[in-house]
A and B are shown apart, each in its own frame.
Chain A
Amino acid sequence: MRYSYYPGCTLKTKAKVFEDTTLQTARALGLEFAEVEEWQCCGALYPLNTEEVFPLLSPVRSLAQARAAGCTKLVTLCAGCYNVFRRTNRTMRSDAEVRGKINGYLEEDYRGQVDVVHYLEILKNDVGFAELAEKVSRRLEGRKIAPYYGCLLLKPRNEMDFDDVENPTIFEDFLRALGANVVEYPYRTECCGSYLSMANEEVAATAVGRILTSAFKNGAEALVVACPLCKYNLEEYQKGFREAAGSPAAGIPVLYFTELLAEALDVREQDGQ
């Protein structure tokens, strides 16, 4: 199946390994990801002001292009991009006024015909976790992995409709398909501190500290994420723990889920990071 693929800024820079492992694994699973041409930044945050519609122009451009290319699904990876695209698409389907303004400006007639999906959803629904488990050649037997959802994949619940907001299972099901041991811990859907890592480091540090300590206490050897910002925060503040000396949670690797997928499918090429 052919998908329109929207990588987003971070996957081309800091999170190159996220994109590389995604494209390697997609190829191995027979999925065709066609990158949207001349895509622009998604806007990073879905505008909280309902009157502010112009931040939606960029995602709609990509969506309209996906439609013009004949794709019914547009896949994203970064949880931030996914959140913005998913909500933009919903607005384009349901809000006639915003739709009119945006289409008028872009000279398009986009009405939400394309579905915005996350790579995890493709693995779950289009490939199927049972089928995926069969394709795994190097099962992650004995590896204790803690899934970390963060906020943007799940919330707001009514707009994202990604999984059960309080008790999501898609990451766990994915990890089990790869043969890993899933670590249960209560902080998997807590906020990582998000952009507060720029403005109020202490808040972010406290948030990350709680997540890592809880995961560690429950036996995690690694955390798996779908968001470059979560990964940045979770890694950045571990350095602080190392300096504070003695925090047992320091040094837990934080991986993109695609890294584990590439490993399990044995398709990971050497990539310089």
Chain B
Amino acid sequence: MKRIGVFLCWCGSNIAATVDIEETMAAARKMPGVVYVDHNKYTCSEIGQAMIREAIAAHRLDRVVIGSCSPRMHENTFRKTVEAAGLNPFYLEIANIREQCSWVHKDKLTATEKAISLIRTAVAKAARSEPLFSTEMSIERRALVIGGGIAGIQAALDIADAGFEVDLVEKEPSIGGRMAQLDKTFPTLDCSACILTPKMVDVAQHGNINLITYSEVEKVEGFVGNFTVTIRNRARSVDMEKCTGCGDCYAKCPSKVDSEFEMGLAKRRAIYTPFPQAVPNKPAIDRANCRYFTSGKCKVCQKVCPAGAIDYEQQDQLVEKKYGAIVVATGFDTHKLDNYGEYAYGKHPDVITSLEFERLVNASGPTGGKILRPSNGQPPKNVAFIQCVGSRDKAKGNPYCAKICCMYTAKHAILLSEKVPGANAFVFYIDVRTPGKDYEEFYNRAYEECGATYIRGNVSKVFPDGDKLVVRSVDALSGALVELVVDMVVLATSVDARADARELAQKLSITTNAYNFFNEAHPKLRPVETQTAGVFLAGACQGPKDIPDTVAQASAAAVKVVSLLNKESLLSNPTVAEVDIKLCSGDMSCLAVCPYGAIAEKFIEERHGREIRKRRVAEVNTALCQGCGACTVACRPGAINLKGFTNEQILAEVDAICL
């Protein structure tokens, strides 16, 4: 017979106010195998843990059940506690009587009844627990950073500075991302390029950083410490070794297309670098728009290239590399305005998005930094800024707040007043949200010093009237209808997850929220980790974020990577699936349901009388198995057991609840 100790936690009043601890203890004493019962106000405290260790020694306990908060909270803590007392850490069982009991019930009588039932379940399971042991695994001490915006740049630099090799993969021909498109940055108005470009150069020059541009992650296999990643190096059609970045090719290229970097406000060539400060400053040929690739004639760039670097024969290359950790920093997309026909975007050239406005204000932008109306090239006198376009809109946009728009709109209003003296900014808003250091002061400056007029109201319609635009809204504070005649309308477009975020999440076995932003492992306590060990998040791919938050998160992710790569080896998770080959029928139902590709088929030889026959059975790769248990359910002969959650244990739990 096992000697089980049961410890009940009050969690202050969190549990004790709803669950009758005395009564639960009395019930626990009568449970089979329980030889000792105690309670504590805060079991996770040093005193509480000492109580458990002492009771294990004094009462020769060999299994421990703790009735407390969710195992996701303190299971690791308590495992260490029982291990310190000389028990296998997997002899611990936690009954969640807080999140799943006291927090969700009001009636003490029924909550106590449920707590007793949960304790009985845990006792039944603990009585059948087996010792489990972790094994050591080696670590590939290199990191992969996906995305070369400010988040990826910061993470890569921090990891590289700590002495580890980093591959930085960027899908565009240059790193820099969204931040490279911006003019000034809030709340200090320092020039975005001035603070970003040096970092981009650092990346290019850092001995530990291997810059892989114009490339995408194709496939991710393996697990923490040992990822194998296939990277697609898209054919650049330019030999990076030979190219000197002189720029003769794009000066002479005859095909012009809308520049993505300039948000379509200017043209680029088919052979191009996205912007003059590109890193690497070497062009790529956009084959879809190249005259040679579409019609077979041209080759102008090849003729003018003094280095002979143009290579039309290049093919995409798949490269397989190994990493110990991965940082995802893929950024965001701006919201598509298809659902906002009322704002006449795309119908009238003077209705622009805020990112387009950034390009208009930018000294290296299409107008050389002059704010001019796209329709006639004249400076605007009156500009309406419409906030929350696609944000906080349950009906047809994103229900969430995009977080950055209030601040960048205040910035735009300030820049307008500086660049076009006498111009008026009218900002239509729902609420102005400016939490952040020096943020509220910045917003105050927009209307106090720079004269921006803030009108609380959701704009219902924008339409042309002659060469002007009419903005119709309500002024919600006075209740009056407002019609403003303006020269330009700037839409503060919401922040979306990348269109291909779900696809990447699948490759990485990480999860997304309802809007396709990657999920952190815990919203408060593990903000840069994901549920998949070894994969970390930085920047707006996890949720809308401004530059200060992005950089902070990127550095945090880098620290996590560094502390992982600093280890000599990793301990494996022992709660993995195990196949009993005597029972395995070899129908491989388990293989079909395994989300981690951890099950493979294996052929074993068996003697049948004189004959030796080969038989197919399933085999679990314990390094890949994450212990989800899907295979144990799919297995018809019941040949697969999840260690720590064996079929026997689970049936015992069911019996404890039902009988």
| Contacts from A to B (Cβ < 8 Å) | 164-167, 186-187, 214
Contacts and interface: CB of A to CB of B under 8 A. Distances in A.
Interface stretch (B276-284, B368-376, B463-471): B463-471
B341 A186 contact: no
Given A165-B341, A214-B465, 11 more contacts: A164-B341, A166-B340, A166-B341, A166-B342, A167-B341, A167-B347, A186-B463, A186-B464, A186-B465, A186-B470, A187-B463
6 contacts: A165-B341, A166-B340, A166-B341, A167-B347, A186-B465, A214-B465
A165 B463 CA distance: 14
A193 to B, nearest CB: 14
A198 B391 CA distance: 38
Nearest to B339: A166
Nearest to B483: A210
A176 to B, nearest CB: 18
A214 B347 CA distance: 18
Contacts of A187: 463
A214 B470 CA distance: 12
Interface of B: 340-342, 347, 463-465, 470
Contacts of B341: 164-167
B474 to A, nearest CB: 15
B470 to A, nearest CB: 7
Where chain A touches its partner, the secondary structure class is loop
Nearest to B469: A186
Contacts of B465: 186, 214
A35 B564 CA distance: 78
A35 to B, nearest CB: 37
Contacts of A186: 463-465, 470
Nearest to A214: B465
A100 B341 CA distance: 38
Nearest to B463: A186
A14 to B, nearest CB: 31
A154 to B, nearest CB: 11
Contacts of A165: 341
A215 to B, nearest CB: 13
Contacts of B342: 166
A165 B395 CA distance: 14
Contacts of A164: 341
A191 to B, nearest CB: 11
Contacts of B463: 186-187
In order of increasing CB-CB distance, the 3 nearest A-B pairs are A166-B341, A186-B463, A167-B341
A214 B464 CA distance: 11
B389 to A, nearest CB: 13
B424 to A, nearest CB: 22
A165 B341 CA distance: 8
A187 B470 CA distance: 11
A166 B462 CA distance: 11
Contacts of A166: 340-342
A167 to B, nearest CB: 5
Nearest to A210: B483
A165 B396 CA distance: 13
Contacts of B470: 186
Contacts of B347: 167
B341 to A, nearest CB: 3
Query: Most chain-A Cβ atoms within 10 A of its Cβ — which of B463, B464, B465?
Result: B463
Nearest to A167: B341
Nearest to A157: B396
A187 B463 CA distance: 9
Residue from A186, A187, A214 having most chain B Cβ neighbours under 10 A: A186
Nearest to A186: B463
A200 to B, nearest CB: 15
B121 to A, nearest CB: 39
A167 B341 CA distance: 6
A214 to B, nearest CB: 8
A74 to B, nearest CB: 29
Nearest to A187: B463
A217 to B, nearest CB: 9
A166 B463 CA distance: 11
A166 B340 CA distance: 8
B343 to A, nearest CB: 8
A225 to B, nearest CB: 20
Nearest to A185: B463
A78 to B, nearest CB: 26
A186 B470 CA distance: 10
B471 to A, nearest CB: 12
A166 B464 CA distance: 14
A108 to B, nearest CB: 34
A166 B347 CA distance: 11
A214 B461 CA distance: 15
A255 to B, nearest CB: 24
A142 B340 CA distance: 33
A50 B1 CA distance: 64
A164 B341 CA distance: 8
Contacts of A214: 465
B522 to A, nearest CB: 37
A243 B233 CA distance: 75
A182 B342 CA distance: 20
A166 B465 CA distance: 17
A165 B339 CA distance: 10
A188 B347 CA distance: 15
A113 B182 CA distance: 54
A162 to B, nearest CB: 14
Contacts of A167: 341, 347
A160 to B, nearest CB: 15
Nearest to A190: B461
A147 to B, nearest CB: 15
A187 B464 CA distance: 10
A167 B470 CA distance: 16
A166 B351 CA distance: 15
B297 to A, nearest CB: 37
A186 B461 CA distance: 10
B589 to A, nearest CB: 38
B6 to A, nearest CB: 50
Contacts of B340: 166
Nearest to B462: A186
Nearest to A184: B464
From A164, A167, A187, A214, name the one whose CB has the most chain B CB atoms within 10 angstroms.
Answer: A167
A167 B347 CA distance: 10
B426 to A, nearest CB: 19
Contacts of B464: 186
A166 B344 CA distance: 9
Nearest to A168: B341
A166 B470 CA distance: 15
A208 B342 CA distance: 20
B481 to A, nearest CB: 10
A169 B464 CA distance: 18
A220 to B, nearest CB: 15
Nearest to B347: A167
Nearest to B341: A166
A167 B463 CA distance: 11
A140 to B, nearest CB: 26
B395 to A, nearest CB: 8
B534 to A, nearest CB: 44
- Which of B341, B464, B470 has the most chain A CB atoms inside 10 A of its CB? B341
A211 to B, nearest CB: 12
A155 to B, nearest CB: 12
